[in-house]
Amino acid sequence: MISFQSKIKEVYATPIGKDILDKLFLQMKLPEKLIDNPMIGNMKLSTVVKLSRGKLSEGFLRTFLNLVNAEKDVPAPGTCEVKPAWWKEAVFYQIYPRSFCDGNGDGMGDLEGVLSKLDYLKSIGVDAIWFSPIYDSPQDDNGYDIRDYRTIWERFGTMEKFDELLDAVHARGMRLIMDLVINHSSDEHEWFQKALTDPKSKYHDYYIFRPATGKGSDPGDPPNNWKSFFSGSAWNYYPEINEWGLHLFSSKQMDLNWENPELRADVIDMIRWWLEKGVDGFRMDVINLISKTDGLPDGDEMIGKMMGVRGIEHYFYGPRLHEYLRQIRSEAFDPYNAFSVGEMPGIGMESGKLLTGDDRHELDLFFNFDHLETPGHTRFDDYVYDLNYLKQYYIRWQEGFGNHCWQALFLENHDNPRVVSKIEPNPAFHEKLAMTLLTIQLTLKGTPFIYQGQEMGTANYPFRSIEEMDDVESINLYNELIEKHTPAEAFRIVLSGTRDHARRMIDWDPSDPGDSARYDHVRNYLQKLTTARKDHKTLVYGDILFTNRTRKDLFTYFRSDANENWYIECNLSNHDIRRSGTDLNPESIANCRVLGNYGNVRNGVLRAYECNVYWLT
Ligand code: TEU
């Protein structure tokens, strides 16, 4: 048991303690090594509170201790052999259906459009497709608010079209995974509607309601101080039943009550229904949020500031999370051999091991987000991302995650701006940069997830006003910001981080010759990369060895096994850098180069964002 009297190094020896301290250190830009300093490591938590002079409250520490002590398990050592699996070898491609490809000419993407692009996806080496939600939905959050889990949204197509698509995917030897949004449903889902019209029905307990405490027509204060991820309180008041309902996301995305066994059984039934159809697995939306602390206590202000949303410590790693995941796994996934990747904001490496270790029977993979912004920044800051941070992040994870676990490698999705724009303001460099990033994604140890448009080096869209934006998160944030900022300032903040950058319709036939050339170059390059990865399992399962670990702007590593040895070198900057004496001399290995984003290798120098992949043996 960790207590106020425990030392920092004792806390760091627990999985949750380590994850939280690592996060704190990262945010404060302190090196992890600090724990090894006896002065720091031997300091008692009670002393830390005293030294903080009121910055760390006792409440903060109590919440922290509860989280640390609630996890009784420790991850198994990761020194075992990696167990092969199809999803470790696969290249995944995420489709955001509304903006991928328009098959019926109504200006919005649809299933027909996807069908028309399957041969293309196959040709660039995609093995598995992840579909963002295509279910019936009022589209308050572009389909992450589901009205009916067993129907396709009419603008995307029909269930017959879906079945045809699934067959067509399988006929090409590819797989399809669906988005499973089960932390919440739309308020238009029939369960929620029944909960409101008949509060005595069983569906009332499918959601998280709390009685209003006010008098007369005044509902009083919400049941706790939790904030929604999309601005404002996390509670809606429903006068018809005089109760508050919890929503961690938009006010139309109502959190489901996972405490209720009947709700769980219904969700599991639905999952099995899709698996019965033949889908190959699921990406599970904010799946780490499904279990909430008993009694829904108030969130700590400081943790709220640090993590970006107040209340999060009461549900990002909730008390029954492991139990629920195991139930889903054993009752739905295992009988169908289904694959799962959990989207898990806030989860760190050690808790990630406990959620995805192959000895744990919970999930296969998870998305960790710590690499998407450099320390001290949030998505809505206007700043230039330094790739040296990405390098250090990957070294840490690739060396620390262990062989029971497997990393999901992604740089973009539908919730983030385009990665080339984040890193490089000058579009002239985007083509080379896009190729280097794909090289990193496809040659590190893990499963690459490519987001639609990434294979063309797509950049952010130059929105001119808030009216051009569509995303509920951006619009809510803008409305919150204009209370304190001028409209121009508010727009600028939203512009940096808006999810709409990634949600613009893909332009399949760019009229601009520059765009068109970039599309071809990046795509052809990706095609070669995926081919190399398929032909050489060393690039999937081989050991990884990093060199030049502390050299700025140079990212180099070997992938090797008993049979093959590969060397990858990337320049992370937009200027020439020199190889050092210890680097492999390309003159001697130039004929081993399998891939690169410049026509030839140059001795001694790597040009802006140059990358090369060498097959040495
Ligand atoms: O995203 C969850 C989520 O936490 C993100 O909104 C996150 O806060 C942000 O993007 C960090 O960069 C998932 C879906 O991916 C998103 O599209 C949905 O809006 C959300 O859940 C609610 O379902």
Sequence spans of domains, the chain: 8-70, 190-255, 530-615
CB 543 within 8 A of CB 526: no
> ∠ at Cα 242 (237, 248), nearest 5°?
30
Measured over the CA atoms of residue 208, residue 228, residue 499 and residue 487, the dihedral's sign is positive
Question: Between helices 387-400 and 349-356, what is the axis angle to 10°?
Answer: 50
Which CATH number fits the domain 530-615, given the four candidates 2.60.40.1180, 3.30.470.20, 3.60.21.10, 3.40.50.300?
2.60.40.1180
d(CA 508, CA 510): 6
Whole-number Å distance, alpha carbon 544 to ligand 1 midpoint, is 31
The pLDDT score that the predictor gives to residue 34 is 86
Nearest atom in ligand 1 to 250's CA = 22
- Whether residue 343 lies in the annotated active site: yes
Phi-psi region of 477 (alpha: psi -120 to 50; beta: other; left: phi over 0): alpha
Whole-number Å distance, alpha carbon 341 to ligand 1 midpoint, is 15
Specify the 3-state DSSP secondary structure of 381.
coil
Nearest atom in ligand 1 to 414's CA = 17
Q: Which residues line ligand 1 (CB under 6 A)?
A: 141, 144, 181, 229, 249, 285-286, 343, 345, 369, 379, 414-416
Specify the 3-state DSSP secondary structure of 532.
helix
Supply the residue whose CA is at minimum distance from atom 4 of ligand 1: 345
- The two structure tokens encoding residue 43: 């300091």
Whole-number Å distance, alpha carbon 518 to ligand 1 midpoint, is 30
Whole-number Å distance, alpha carbon 607 to ligand 1 midpoint, is 37
Instruction: Choose one of 415, 476, 500 to mutate for the ligand 1 pocket test, by most ligand atoms within 8 angstroms of C-beta.
Output: 415
Please give the average pLDDT of every successive group of 10 residues along the chain, which has 617 residues.
Answer: 94 95 86 88 90 82 93 96 97 98 98 98 98 98 98 98 98 98 98 98 98 88 97 96 97 98 98 98 98 96 88 97 98 98 96 98 97 93 97 97 98 98 98 98 98 98 97 96 97 97 96 94 98 98 96 96 96 94 72 94 93 93
**How much is the pTM?**
0.97
Instruction: Choose one of 252, 283, 286, 475 to mutate for the ligand 1 pocket test, by most ligand atoms within 8 angstroms of C-beta.
Output: 286
The pLDDT score that the predictor gives to residue 324 is 98
Nearest atom in ligand 1 to 184's CA = 23
Whose structure tokens read 């904030």?
A: 227
**Residue of 22, 145, 280, 343 marked active site:** 343
Nearest atom in ligand 1 to 181's CA = 23
* pLDDT one-digit tens code per residue, 339-379: 999 999 999 999 999 999 999 999 999 999 999 999 989 99
The pLDDT score that the predictor gives to residue 582 is 63
Supply the residue whose CA is at minimum distance from atom 10 of ligand 1: 415
Whole-number Å distance, alpha carbon 367 to ligand 1 midpoint, is 12
* pLDDT one-digit tens code per residue, 469-491: 999 999 999 999 999 999 999 99
**Reported CATH class of domain 190-255:** alpha beta
The pLDDT score that the predictor gives to residue 591 is 85
Supply the residue whose CA is at minimum distance from atom 2 of ligand 1: 286
Whole-number Å distance, alpha carbon 290 to ligand 1 midpoint, is 14
A 10 A CB-CB count for 285 gives 19
Supply the residue whose CA is at minimum distance from atom 8 of ligand 1: 229
**Residue of 243, 285, 300, 455 marked active site:** 285
The pLDDT score that the predictor gives to residue 308 is 85
Nearest atom in ligand 1 to 145's CA = 23
CB 150 within 8 A of CB 190: no
Going from the C-alpha of 159 to that of each of 116, 153, 179, the distances in angstroms are 17, 9, 16
Strand partners, 569: 556, 612
> Fold match between 190-255 and 530-615?
no
The pLDDT score that the predictor gives to residue 29 is 82
Instruction: Choose one of 189, 249, 366, 381 to mutate for the ligand 1 pocket test, by most ligand atoms within 8 angstroms of C-beta.
Output: 249
Supply the residue whose CA is at minimum distance from atom 16 of ligand 1: 415
- Whether residue 553 lies in the annotated active site: no
Q: Roughly how many angstroms between the first and final C-alpha of the chain, as a whole number? A: 51
Whole-number Å distance, alpha carbon 582 to ligand 1 midpoint, is 43
Whole-number Å distance, alpha carbon 81 to ligand 1 midpoint, is 34
The pLDDT score that the predictor gives to residue 7 is 96
Three-state secondary structure string covering 441-462: HHHCCCEEEEECCHHHCCCCCC
Nearest atom in ligand 1 to 472's CA = 19
Whose structure tokens read 């690499």?
A: 371
Whole-number Å distance, alpha carbon 415 to ligand 1 midpoint, is 6
Supply the residue whose CA is at minimum distance from atom 18 of ligand 1: 144
Supply the residue whose CA is at minimum distance from atom 1 of ligand 1: 286
A 10 A CB-CB count for 345 gives 18
Nearest atom in ligand 1 to 499's CA = 10
The pLDDT score that the predictor gives to residue 376 is 87
Supply the residue whose CA is at minimum distance from atom 6 of ligand 1: 415
The pLDDT score that the predictor gives to residue 581 is 65
Supply the residue whose CA is at minimum distance from atom 5 of ligand 1: 415
Amino acid sitting at position 355? L
d(CA 244, CA 219): 9
d(CA 114, CA 126): 13
The pLDDT score that the predictor gives to residue 25 is 86
> ∠ at Cα 345 (394, 271), nearest 5°?
110
